[in-house]
Structure 1
Amino acid sequence: MGIKALILIEGNRGNGPLHIQAAKRLGLHTITLAVDPARYEYLAAESIEAIRVDTGNIDALIRECYRLRITYDIIGITGFAGDDVSVSATVGKLCRHFGLPGPNPGSIERCCDKFAQRQLLAEAGVSVPAFHLAAKAKEVESFAMDIGMPVVVKPTLGSGSIGVRLCSNVDELSAHTASLLGGKHIWRSLRGILIEEFVQGPHYSIDMIGKEVIGIAALDFGRPPHFICRECTYPAVLTGDERNSISDVSLSCLRALGLGWGPANIQLRWTKRGPVVIGVSPHLPGSPAPELVQLAYGVDLITEHIKLVTGAQRSLRRSPTNIAAARFLIPDRDGSVNWIEGDSRAAAVSGVAEVEWYIDPKTPIARKGDYRDRIGHVIAVSTGHAQTRTILQRAADLIDWSITPSPNLGE
């Protein structure tokens, strides 16, 4: 047999290198198939084999995998959802075709359609925000009045809060609706857009592999109208009853959506009526969540995911001893980055596990109002919540950057 290989469909700035490093530790050769491999700088930096192929064409991917099987023993296929949620379904189809472990592509596709997901969850008795699907601007306004302002307006496809906005009045509603329905939004769907109730309360993120809850994080978001996570802490401070309730709701989500084979990330808010599910993603959470899970619980999500897709024996035994948190660095203006500094001082603070910039000096900044606005993060870890928060704040205070305003940059 040839060299054992893991196929990666597309890439990801954070989780991509983590998968490559974990695969190497497991003795696997990684091959990335991507529309534009140059988009993922870490591939060239680490001399990773990459092949240009239309990843939106399942037949082209199948042909390429058959070609690679002449040289390699392909034992697993996975990929990165990133901005394009269809990658997860494509991976499922490839795994089915080649008889490899993988998710049910039909379940993945239904889950990635936010309207279909809402319907399935509601029909199963899972508490979700009130919602409507609209295809025309007049319908958006009518449904918003029916639900009651403010409302959350979003495309039916996409991830990372791209295109998601809280609209507090008719003017904001009209402007955002025009943006989504007018074709300016990359994730606009032929099905229309979702109008949802704005539910409030503590926000939690649940990471699962199979039907097991691995970790529960508390998320802190910036001020509306956008939904940009600014801080993430594992594990969340919960009572035993709250933890059990969140676990039960998470399992109900998997059953309703036909999931439960691989990784899943569930977002919910704890409201006056209990946990209300905001969304379910049928893939691993993005970096730095996997790093935080490993620091807090001792479970390497990336390695366990690779073991799952290659049919290897897994070990999900948790040993939660630490509190790990990440603070995201987010600019307050558009422009060009003049300088960034303080990362070495911040990294030297006792308890800081990582300081990472996603950009370099002179990088143009054009804020989008979603996860792409983040330009870096700091990770801190200790044995207590208060201590971890203190470390995180001390490190963040040492970091600084300068941006020359450029108001026309984002147009």
Structure 2
Amino acid sequence: MSHQETPRYVVFVESPLTGAGQDCARFLLEQGITPVVVAARPEAMAPSLLSDYAELGVEIRACDTQDPEAVVTACREIAADGTLVGVSSVYEYYCAMGAEVAARLGLAGPDPAAIAACRSKASMRRAMSAVPGLNPPFRVCSSPGEAAAAATEIGFPVVVKPLDLTGSLWVRRCGTADEVSALAEEIMGIGEYLGQRVAPEVVVEECVLGDEYSAEVMHGKVLGLTEKICSEPPLFLEMGHIFPARVDGARERLLVAKAEQAVKAVGVTWGPAHVELKLTGDGTDARVIEVNGRIAGDRIPELVRIATGVDMCRLHMTALLGGTPDLEVPFLRTAAVHFLMSAALGRLDAIDGVPEATAMEGVHEVRMRPGVQPGMVYRANGSNRDRAAWIIAEGADRAEALGRAEAAGRRLSFSWSPVDEVRA
């Protein structure tokens, strides 16, 4: 940027842990635009995030990110010497805030009401109820007894979920009314998690028994399908993803149609969306598990980039800047991400084998989850935060890509020592 040009800024509200924020920032910097992250407590952000943004030269500015007026004020202050060209968030808990602030400032972005609906599984389900066949049978419940009664009415097994958390937190498959009641009581007593208020309600819904996929969507159009590898019940931890999913033509058309109907029903027709779906047990139909009004997490955008050459972060930022993203996607190869788990309870003493895993053929990334380092003490909580590391690899097909990622995972070694339950 020459000294005659007016500075241009894009503000991000907070930042996720799996790289999408940094990827978006890199693209903006290439365009001569200055990205700035506003965060409630910059000093409390993961050291790896702080390091990455420092290396990029991206400022992180303190701001009350729960207050739209405070974020609007911060945006105006940041762009006082130039032009504010975009406001967004690629972090689940703040996507609605990013959309609301962008709308208040007259900038491009999704419908704030639609993104807010995605943040509540109750609102999301109600929005999709207008289209038959998107939702499984469900009930929104405000007491353990009501949840148990709803589960009995729907029929076991059921899935019980908090309304507004992410990463599979407190999402469980339940086989009895007592299990439902106990889990609902636990969820309704959480109160707050990671600074977010947790609604004292649950969604109880039919457990859809088929294979799980996600649709990666831009401007209401499915760009491709991702296969999900999930843990065994009763948890729903995502242990890996493969892009593109290899499904037969009829099922592919079914999943694409359902995903596009879902984003239209919820109203997320601008920008990125990540729609999770499951086939029914007989594979003849599908149900939407959830709609996320953001780019996918878990490094799925990197899988898309490796497999197709299309960067979803760039597509999102192109739209944010008022451009028209190219939605044609060529499928050239297959990419997979494989996750490794932390100990259920322990102190991490050492991590070995990273150079060896990184050097293996087809491997693109070997990364620890932010915060995973020797000396940390961890207690598993049954969510995606229990994953210690990930490996991304490419291959000519599903078997080769996933095989390479899993083989690299076997090169990694985590040494854990026991700790006292109370002290942990």
Q: TM-score range by the shorter chain?
A: over 0.9
Tell me the amino acid that sits aligned with residue 382 of structure 1: G
Structure 1: tracts of 5 or more residues without a match:
none
In the alignment, what sits opposite 1:230? 239
Tell me the amino acid that sits aligned with residue 227 of structure 1: F
Q: Is the partner of 1:123 in helix, strand or coil?
A: coil
Q: Structure 2 vs 1, CA of residues 364 and 153 (structure 1 numbering), >3 Å: closer, same or farther?
A: same
Q: CA-to-partner distance for each residue in 1:225-281, whole Å, 9 max, x for gaps?
A: 211111110111111222111111111112211121110000011112511111110
Tell me the amino acid that sits aligned with residue 15 of structure 2: G
* Worse overlay, 12-21 or 134-143: 12-21
Distance in 2, matches of 1:191 and 1:333, equals: 27
Q: Is the partner of 1:375 in helix, strand or coil?
A: strand
Q: CA-to-partner distance for each residue in 1:180-212, whole Å, 9 max, x for gaps?
A: 112356366446211111111110011001022
In the alignment, what sits opposite 2:112? 105
* Worse overlay, 316-325 or 39-48: 39-48
Contact 1:129 1:197 in 2 (8 A): yes
In the alignment, what sits opposite 1:395? 408
Question: Given the alignment of the two structures, is residue 126 of structure 1 paired with residue 133 of structure 2, yes or no?
Answer: yes
- For residue 116 of structure 1, report the CA deviation from its aligned partner: 1.8
Q: How do 1:195-210 and structure 2 match up within 5 A?
A: 195-210=204-219
Q: Is the partner of 1:145 in helix, strand or coil?
A: helix
Give TM-score, length-normalised by structure 2: 0.92
Q: Is the partner of 2:129 in helix, strand or coil?
A: helix
User: Which among 231, 238, 245 is matched to residue 254 of structure 2?
Assistant: 245
Distance in 1, matches of 2:59 and 2:112, equals: 26
- For residue 169 of structure 1, report the CA deviation from its aligned partner: 2.7
The size of the alignment, in residue pairs, is 408
Q: How do 1:31-42 and structure 2 match up within 5 A?
A: 31-38=36-43, 39-41=45-47, 42=49
User: Which among 371, 378, 384 is matched to residue 371 of structure 1?
Assistant: 384
Question: Given the alignment of the two structures, is residue 136 of structure 1 paired with residue 149 of structure 2, yes or no?
Answer: no
Tell me the amino acid that sits aligned with residue 303 of structure 1: R
In the alignment, what sits opposite 1:57? 67
Question: Given the alignment of the two structures, is residue 348 of structure 1 paired with residue 359 of structure 2, yes or no?
Answer: yes
In the alignment, what sits opposite 1:255? 264
User: Which among 308, 314, 323 is matched to residue 325 of structure 2?
Assistant: 314
Contact 2:188 2:199 in 1 (8 A): no
Contact 2:27 2:314 in 1 (8 A): yes
Question: Given the alignment of the two structures, is residue 323 of structure 1 paired with residue 334 of structure 2, yes or no?
Answer: yes
Distance in 2, matches of 1:404 and 1:28, equals: 47
In the alignment, what sits opposite 2:58? 48
Tell me the amino acid that sits aligned with residue 195 of structure 1: V
Q: How do 1:287-298 and structure 2 match up within 5 A?
A: 287-298=298-309
Q: How do 1:156-235 and structure 2 match up within 5 A?
A: 156-183=163-190, 186=193, 189-190=198-199, 192-235=201-244
Tell me the amino acid that sits aligned with residue 6 of structure 2: G
In the alignment, what sits opposite 2:90? 80
Q: Is the partner of 2:246 in helix, strand or coil?
A: coil
Contact 1:366 1:410 in 2 (8 A): no
User: Which among 23, 33, 48 is matched to residue 28 of structure 2?
Assistant: 23
Structure 2: tracts of 5 or more residues without a match:
none
Q: How do 1:327-342 and structure 2 match up within 5 A?
A: 327-342=338-353
Contact 2:143 2:185 in 1 (8 A): no
Question: Given the alignment of the two structures, is residue 2 of structure 1 paired with residue 18 of structure 2, yes or no?
Answer: no
Q: CA-to-partner distance for each residue in 1:38-64, whole Å, 9 max, x for gaps?
A: 214333532421211101111111112
Contact 2:157 2:174 in 1 (8 A): yes
Identity %: 26
- For residue 77 of structure 1, report the CA deviation from its aligned partner: 0.9
Distance in 2, matches of 1:389 and 1:12, equals: 25
Distance in 2, matches of 1:114 and 1:108, equals: 11
In the alignment, what sits opposite 2:285? 274
Question: CA RMSD, aligned part only?
Answer: 1.8
* Worse overlay, 109-118 or 277-286: 109-118
Distance in 2, matches of 1:304 and 1:208, equals: 11
- For residue 26 of structure 1, report the CA deviation from its aligned partner: 2.1
Q: CA-to-partner distance for each residue in 1:140-197, whole Å, 9 max, x for gaps?
A: 1111111122221111112211221122234432331221112356366446211111
Contact 1:31 1:49 in 2 (8 A): yes
